[in-house]
Amino acid sequence: MAAVAILQLPPQTLRRVALLTYGSPLRRLYARLFPAYLGYDVLRDAGDRIEWR
């Protein structure tokens, strides 16, 4: 649920955040089950916020 947490962080904190996943099922599983919360657009927004670090 790290992607959801990233979406709630203030901009000054996002500069110090990086996300490391290994075999994360976010898109494969959760995007299908919860598209409003973890759909493709939401995951793309989370990646953009941390500048894909």
pLDDT digits (tens, 9 = 90+) for 11-40: 999 889 888 777 777 777 777 888 887 788
C-alpha torsion angle, residues 36, 37, 38, 43 (rounded to 10)? 100
Total tally of structural domains belonging to the chain = 1
| Position 9 in a domain | no
Between vectors from CA 46 to CA 40 and to CA 3, what angle results, nearest 5°? 90
The reply to whether 29 falls in a domain is: yes
| 5: helix, strand or coil | helix
Is residue 38 included in any domain, yes or no?
A: yes
Which domain, by its residues, includes 33? 24-53
Is pLDDT larger for residue 9 or for residue 39? 9
Q: Judge whether residue 10 has pLDDT over 90.
A: yes
Residue 40 lies in a domain: yes
Q: Give the pLDDT of residue 41.
A: 86
